[in-house]
Amino acid sequence: MTLDRPFQFSRYRARPLEIIDTTLREGSQSSLLHDHYKYFFNQQDKVEIVRALIIYGVKFIELFAPIVSAQEREDVEAIKAVRDELITQKGYTFLLAHVRCHPADVESAIEAGFDGLNFYIGTSRFARDASHGKELDEIIRGARTLIEQVRRDYPHLILRFSGEDAFRTRPEHLFRVYDEIAPLVHRLGTPDTVGVATPATVVRQVAMLRQRYPYVDLEGHFHDDRGFALINALEAVRAGMRYIDTTILGIGERSGITSMTALLFNLFVDREYDKLEGYNLRGSYPINVLLASKLNKLVQSKEPVSLTNRTHTSGVHQKAVLNDHDTYEAHPLDQFGVTESEILLGPLSGWNVIYYFLKEIKYFRIDEETAKEITRVFKQRVYNIRPDESPGQILVDIAEKEFKLSRLEIPEPYRDAVTQRLDAIRPEERGEMFNGPHIR
């Protein structure tokens, strides 16, 4: 067994945290694509996603090996063209092919001009029995021969090896394989393929691998079956893992993997700023929206970097947020591109927000007592709302038709300029950062 320092890839000095985006590989395995009559990202989707990732600051992008289909092979060409176009502006981004330990996968990736190969093979009992049927010695022999050959013939390639289902592989088995492969690769992956890991087992696994393979960088890949994909990735980063696989919105096989923006947002909240070097954090919400639009859905409500986390529905919250949004918004989401805050009118709204809405946004001449009365009427009416109505429209109708309120006449050009009650917002947050809540 040799555990020498491996060869280095010289073109790039890795940052404290490198995201390996796998939206177009792992993410393409998401059932969400199949729920929307879409089944795959088309070439234009892929090009737009890759462009957004590069602009966001991602330096490693994983794609399927082109052997998967003729279409994949063509798409790699288009993706490479975008990457090349952005090099002068954004630096180099490495394209990595996800390959089985099969010569045909490797050949297809090399032919397509990939910068690196992410080898994987199942090492757990399950994979050995039910998937490829190979025993450990055979796995080792096959992988070693292939990787040695690739290193010899293509020394510029960045190589990674993952024992799939590493968290259900017994440590002595994992060591037997990794001891042989570690000297040949730049990174060792330790994927939690079926989402069984916990923060505690992740910390243990990272410590164990760091101790045994001090010269090889580690890569994590955490599935969300238990809802732990985010916390596991965070713990792994804290324990010294440098490379983390993520996807935009965390999409992937079954419940997916760690969401890229959720991970970076949490590192920011925990003040791990060194890990955020080179990421354009303000692009977080826009990149989530981009992917959600490709899936024909909204950014999901459980996503930390979402408008949902700046949306308020209950009367108590709405009143407080109008005075100081920090009351129910603890995190600097505006720095992650969620620059608006939203108040949704509905049966839970109180008179404060209704007063604000009718007076400041709809220009009614109204006093507080009238607003309270209108609120009482609204709270009855809104329970019978029709699909073609909005709560805002019901309020305007009540104010106009039942209470016969008149409105201020504001000349057209000035209307947009006076809709926000700026005195409710702290001075340092005025301007483009925070324009007051958007009410509807």
User: 366: Cβ–Cβ under 8 A, 6 or more apart, which residues?
Assistant: 355, 358, 359, 374, 399, 405
Please give the torsion angle defined by the CA atoms of residues 27, 32, 35 and 36, in that order, rounded to the nearest 10 degrees. Answer: -80
Calculate the dihedral angle through the C-alpha atoms of 109, 111, 116, 117, rounding to the nearest 10 degrees. 30
Instruction: Pick the binder of ligand HCA from 23, 30, 108, 162 (CB under 6 A).
Output: 162
Q: Binding to ligand HCA by residue 193, rule CB under 6 A?
A: yes
Q: Is 317 in the active site?
A: yes
Token reading at 160:
């990674």
Q: Given the complex with ligand HCA, which of 100 and 210 has the nearer CB atom?
A: 100
Instruction: Please select the residue that binds ligand HCA; options are 56, 60, 120, 356, rule is CB under 6 A.
Output: 120
* Closer of 34 and 426 to ligand HCA (Cβ): 34
Q: Which is nearer to Cu ion, 246 or 261 (CB)?
A: 246
Q: Exposed, middle or buried: residue 225 (CB in 10 Å: 0-12, 13-18, 19+)? A: middle
Q: Should residue 187 be labelled a site residue for ligand HCA when binding is judged by CB under 6 A?
A: no
The residue annotated as part of the active site, out of 317, 325, 331, 438, is 317
Q: Which sign, positive or negative, has the C-alpha torsion 184, 190, 191, 194?
A: positive
**Sheet with 341-343, side-by-side order of all strands:** 311-312, 341-343, 437-439
> Cβ of residue 121: shortest distance to ligand HCA, in angstroms?
9
List beta partners, residue 311. Answer: 342
Return d(Cα 44, Cα 25) in angstroms, integer. 16
Task: Look up residue 183 and give its DSSP letter.
Answer: G
Under the binding rule (CB under 6 A), the answer on residue 164 touching ligand HCA is yes
> Which one of the spans 40-48, 130-138, 189-197, 386-394 is the region binding ligand HCA (CB under 6 A)?
189-197
Q: Does 118 bind ligand HCA (CB under 6 A)?
A: yes
Site membership for ligand HCA, residue 169 (CB under 6 A):
no
253 near ligand HCA, rule: CB under 6 A: yes
The answer to whether 189 and 221 have CB atoms below 8 angstroms apart is yes
Q: How far is CA 63 from the centre of its chain?
A: 17
Shortest Å distance, C-beta 37 to ligand HCA:
23
Question: Does residue number 28 form part of the binding site for ligand HCA (CB under 6 A)?
Answer: no
Interaction between residue 26 and ligand HCA (CB under 6 A): yes
Please, which residue, 56 or 167, has the CB nearer to ligand HCA? 167
With CB under 6 A as the contact rule, the residue among 46, 186, 187, 221 that binds ligand HCA is 221
Interface with ligand HCA by CB under 6 A: which residues? Answer: 26, 29, 98, 118, 120, 162, 164, 189, 191, 193, 221, 223, 253
Residues recognised as catalytic: 317
Interface with Cu ion by CB under 5 A: which residues? 26
